[in-house]
Structure 1
Amino acid sequence: MLSYLLAIAIITLIYLLLSFGLSLQYGSVGLINFGHVGFFAIGAYTSALLALSGVPLFASFCAAALAAGLTAWPIGLISLRLRDDYFAIVTLGFSETVRIIIVSEKWLTNGVQGVPGIPRLFSSLPVGFEAQLATAGLLLAVCTLAALAMWRIIKSPFGRIIQAIRDNEDALKALGKDPARFKIQVLMLSSALAGLAGAFYAHYITFIIPEQFVPLVTFYVWMAIIIGGVGRISGAIVGTVLLMVFLEGSRFLRDFIPGVTEVEMASLRIGVIGLLLILFTLYRPQGIMGDYTKR
């Protein structure tokens, strides 16, 4: 039971890195990104393939973050010419394009067969509780550093400028600032976090396939930041934890509802999670950690 809870904690921390990145994009700049999972996949495959080629894990993790961040640069250029809703569609198409490339380029990614045997973190420790605990500790440290970095960014002059972009981009242009440069920088930084999360995911699971990087992952992260409170570090943390409670807790619904098959239970889980999201949107649109003086 303890190992199961620790495994859930590790996945929660990986999703927390994704939530930090998406919260920075939407909460601070107002970018609606439906393709966040694409950068997650780039990070996972980059680190996995490099590690299997003999590259040290520290270097492969850095390369994963760098590859995801650099890939976001042309996407950021596109965002300058599109309204928010069109940008959302473009990013969704981007994530699916990444997945299709992973499936098609079998010489590099092994296609739908996936990439097995990825070196795990703390391989010197025996497989089991100790290795999981060390991985969770490292992830917790990385998430803490990411949260502190986000807090510094939000409180800095740079943070005030990107929040001004979200509130009134035209007014910022009138003051002589260039919103384009700031949008691209935020998108690259957030995507680098997603790439780092992907590297952690690949080396924890030790086996990745294209079907692990479907758009549903992005929408799970959106659910987390909406439930917790958009644009707040505390909101990303609380929302991600609650999301995992919903996803994992709903697995036990079958114990209380007799006569439901496994297939029916999968649909029921999605329905319950969707209902919870609707209720949060209706009665707590600012999120749990949002401003309680507003509706």
Structure 2
Amino acid sequence: MEAYIVAMLVFAGFYALMALGLNVIWGLAGMVNLGLVGFFAVGAYASALLTTKLLWPMPLGWAAGAAIAAVAGGIMALIVARLRGDYLAIVTLGFAEVIRLVASNEIWLTNGTDGISGIPGPWRGDVSPQQFNLIFLALVWCAVGIAFLLLSRASHSPFGRVLRAVREDEDVAAVAGKPVLWFKLRAFALGAAVVGFAGALYAHYNAYIAPDGFAPLLTIYIVLALTAGGVGAMRGAVVGALFVVLLLESTRFLAQEIPGVTPVQKAALRESIIALSLILLLRFRPQGLIPERTRTHSRPGATP
């Protein structure tokens, strides 16, 4: 049971990193991104290939995964910069599917649907599986902490304030003299880099990656995590990730305790409980568990 809890906390860390990256793109800049799992896959495959084929050190592989995902994010931003709403969501969703199809069919590079195995992990083989899980738990949550601090500072900086202005009305931001396209590109690249870094860590934790592991459902989970935690709030992204993992795993045990139903009915009941819980949360707490707080400055001489 202890190993299971540690593993779930590691995955919660991956979700938290992805939610933080999505919060930069969607929460601050207002660009809907349903291609999140595509950047996750880019980071995972980049680090896996560099460390297994070219024998790069793992830290360099992780950095390269983040950098390549950032480049992909910048290119995507140039393509979708003038799209909004549903059109933006459709294009980013298509990007994720293209990445998955490329990973499935370019056997010379990704080994196709057989995936890539033997991906190294820090001290894997030198310590017990339980110790390895604890090491990776500390590593992932240190990464979450660093990303949280850096992105929180960025969100309260002039850069973050411009992104919020673009989110609210990009035409007004452009009239105010802000280069909207440049800020969108930077936001997309930064968010994609964080998501790609999460993918790189995932590859080295799992030791094996394949295209089937990068299904669109993962993006939905991260969108739910950010929505439940609070769109625009960095703390909300982390809390929302923990909430979604807790909800997904607790309902697994809850469904097993219900007598007189078939396994298929238990699975359907579990999904219903998850959906109902999220609907109730959004009904009674539409701003999320930790809503975004914006800083306001009172005018000189104004009455408190």
TM-score norm. by structure 1 comes to 0.95
Shift of 1:124: 5.9
Name the SS of the counterpart of 2:209 in structure 1.
coil
Distance, in Å, in 1 between the alignment partners of 2:11 and 2:292 is: 28
Match of 1:80 in 2: 81
**How many residue pairs get matched?**
292
Distance, in Å, in 2 between the alignment partners of 1:137 and 1:250 is: 26
CA distance 1:266–1:110, change in 2 (3 Å): farther
Distance, in Å, in 1 between the alignment partners of 2:124 and 2:81 is: 44
Aligned-residue sequence identity (percent) comes to: 41
Distance, in Å, in 2 between the alignment partners of 1:114 and 1:103 is: 8
Shift of 1:46: 0.8
Match of 1:12 in 2: 12
Shift of 1:145: 0.6
Distance, in Å, in 2 between the alignment partners of 1:206 and 1:226 is: 31
Shift of 1:49: 1.2
In the TM superposition, 1:199-238 aligns within 5 A as 199-238=200-239
Alpha-carbon RMSD: 1.4
Whether 2:136 is the aligned partner of 1:150: answer no
Distance, in Å, in 2 between the alignment partners of 1:25 and 1:195 is: 14
Match of 1:140 in 2: 141
Higher mean C-alpha displacement, 94-103 vs 258-267: 258-267
In the TM superposition, 1:1-295 aligns within 5 A as 1-53=1-53, 54-123=55-124, 125-290=126-291
CA distance 1:104–1:227, change in 2 (3 Å): same
Shift of 1:237: 1.4
Shift of 1:291: 6.3
The C-alpha deviation readout for 1:125-161, integer Å capped at 9, x for no partner, is: 4132211111111111111110011111011111111
Where in structure 1 are there 5+ consecutive unaligned residues?
Answer: none
Distance, in Å, in 2 between the alignment partners of 1:50 and 1:117 is: 12
Distance, in Å, in 1 between the alignment partners of 2:292 and 2:191 is: 24
- Say whether the 8 Å CA contact 1:122–1:135 is kept in structure 2: no
CA distance 1:163–1:39, change in 2 (3 Å): same
Shift of 1:262: 2.9
The C-alpha deviation readout for 1:192-226, integer Å capped at 9, x for no partner, is: 11110001111111111111111110010010011
The C-alpha deviation readout for 1:16-75, integer Å capped at 9, x for no partner, is: 100000111111110100000000001111111111121110111111001111011121
Where in structure 2 are there 5+ consecutive unaligned residues?
Answer: 294-304
- Say whether the 8 Å CA contact 2:24–2:190 is kept in structure 1: no
Distance, in Å, in 1 between the alignment partners of 2:126 and 2:272 is: 40
- Say whether the 8 Å CA contact 2:71–2:189 is kept in structure 1: yes
- Say whether the 8 Å CA contact 2:10–2:137 is kept in structure 1: yes
The one-letter code matched in structure 1 to 2:12 is T
Distance, in Å, in 1 between the alignment partners of 2:174 and 2:109 is: 44
Shift of 1:113: 1.2
Higher mean C-alpha displacement, 213-222 vs 254-263: 254-263
Shift of 1:271: 2.0
CA distance 1:192–1:172, change in 2 (3 Å): same
The C-alpha deviation readout for 1:168-193, integer Å capped at 9, x for no partner, is: 21111111111110001010010011
TM-score norm. by structure 2 comes to 0.93
